[in-house]
Homo-oligomer: A and B are copies of this chain.
């Protein structure tokens, strides 16, 4: 059985990290599927999906890591050609990855207690985001 859902949300951009665990748990609860996988995929090339302990100190640590390793304030060829100023956002998103797959058993996602599912929006402006949520199982 395959169920397709969507999460729509508004981000602030600038490495905004949004906890989407509650929406996914609710969408899973609404299905008749007990065992299987939830596949998440964010449309767009300046955002990514991962898991993190959703604690404000750690969120800022994660943002600092991106600034150190894929800095905003170095020249990007993408910006020279297109003037969007978000070359760093694209590079970060391609490294983090647009998709995440989480298995579940007896309706329970395989997440740890301190492990939340997050959208990370690397763009340099607020964005409306669509995440496809595909639930496959039985």
Interface residues of A in 57-96 (CB under 8 A from B): 57-58, 60-62, 65, 68-70, 76-82, 87, 90-91, 93-96
Look across to chain B and name the residue whose beta carbon is closest to the beta carbon of A102: B41
Main secondary structure of the interface of A (DSSP, over half): mixed
Taking the closest CB of chain B, its distance from the CB of A54, in whole angstroms, is 9
| Contact assessment for B58 and A77 in the assembled complex, using a CB-CB cutoff below 8 Å | yes
Taking the closest CB of chain B, its distance from the CB of A106, in whole angstroms, is 9
A selection of 15 A-B contacts at a CB cut-off of 8 Å is A4-B35, A37-B39, A39-B103, A41-B110, A43-B115, A51-B93, A51-B94, A51-B97, A55-B78, A55-B81, A55-B82, A57-B77, A57-B81, A58-B87, A62-B94
